[in-house]
Amino acid sequence: MHALRSVLEQAQQMRVAVGHFNVADLVLLKAVFVSAQELKVPVLVGVSEGEREFMGVPQISVLVRSLREEFDFPIFLNADHTHSLVKAVEAAKAGFDAVVFDLSALPFEQNVRQTKEAVEALKAINPSILVEGEIGDIGTGSEIHTEAPDLSKSLTTPEEARQFVESTGVDILAPAVGNRHGMLKSMVQGEARKHLDIERIAQIKKAARILLTLHGGSGTDDNDLRNAIAAGINIVHINTELRVAWRRGLESGLAKQPDEVAPYKILPTAVDSVKQVVLSRLKLFNSEQKLGKGL
């Protein structure tokens, strides 16, 4: 039996991070699963409210569980960026392993109060579910953005992090440390990268003493990611990079076989394209020499 909490604790001890990849269809799920299987590292699959509405809440839960059970493999499911208790409860009842309860847009006190209530409600449904809380502003969706508004004033402070964790009882914290959702066009082209406040991550870890997630991983500088993991990040979320690879792979699959209509003959090109991204990110998060030792 694989349990997410022990996988994360082991990753913390080994100073590696568990990759979290968002999925919205079977192409993405397959690419994430086969990559993790190939590298023999545990993996988290995430579905935002929009992604799970498209896939079906019980349906994605059954799919991930069937992979875990059939292959005896540590693949887990997270209800990413859940903005209401109703949706969080729905995911917990469907058997999700974790919920990101995201009220970071609300004033701090309100976020604390409602996150605490959510932790209690979700643990009553499933005592081993992990609940992640969010503070600070890390921007909007996993899309290609035309501009990057200044978020430097809403970075998480170590004191806020400590207070939030103590008052809510969350298992995992997602801070704002220079990360942001989505990519600029220049990042898709590989000309620009996101940079992280590593010192802040280290201070937050020291103050809050909790598992930490880095959201908005797409387009982040590789060295910053390595340093962030060394400073205390335990989970890294990647979505936009996968979406870009999905689209490119799909377009090239269609272009290569203009007369083909069988999806299972066209879609493997999209799976391969997404797989390249997942493999390279998983290698980075798990540092080459530790690959396969976390299973």
Interface with ligand G3H (CB under 6 A), residue from 42, 74, 175, 216: 216
Q: Please check whether residue 4 is in contact with residue 97, taking contact to mean a CB–CB distance below 8 angstroms.
A: yes
Of 157, 155, 165, 158, the closest CA to residue 195 belongs to: 155
The pair of structure tokens assigned to 289 is 């020499």
* Binding positions for ligand G3H, 37-76, rule CB under 6 A: 46
Coil vs helix vs strand at 232: coil
CB closer to Zn ion, 52 vs 237: 237
**Is 45 or 63 the residue whose CB approaches ligand G3H more closely?**
45
**Applying CB under 6 A, which part among 62-70, 150-158, 210-218, 271-279 lies near ligand G3H?**
210-218
234 makes contact with ligand G3H (CB under 6 A): no
By the 8 A CB rule, do 285 and 16 touch?
yes
Q: Is 80 in the site for ligand G3H (CB under 6 A)?
A: yes
Under the binding rule (CB under 6 A), the answer on residue 115 touching ligand G3H is no
* Residue with smaller CB distance to Zn ion, 68 or 237: 237
Structure tokens at 22: 């968002």
Q: Contact, 142 vs 239, CB < 8 A? A: yes
172 binds ligand G3H (CB under 6 A): no
The amino acid that residue 213 corresponds to is: T
- Whose CA is closest to 273, among 80, 34, 55? 34
CA 164, distance to chain mean position in Å, is 20
Q: Which of residues 220-239 bind Zn ion (CB under 5 A)?
A: 237
Looking at the Cβ atoms of 182 and 294, the one nearer to ligand G3H is 182
**What is the rounded CA–CA span in Å between residue 56 and residue 247?**
22
Considering the rule CB under 6 A, would residue 275 count as an interface residue with ligand G3H?
no
**Which C-beta is closer to ligand G3H: that of 170 or that of 266?**
170
Write out the residues near ligand G3H by the rule CB under 6 A: 22, 46, 80-81, 142, 181-182, 215-218, 237-240
Write out the residues near Zn ion by the rule CB under 5 A: 215, 237
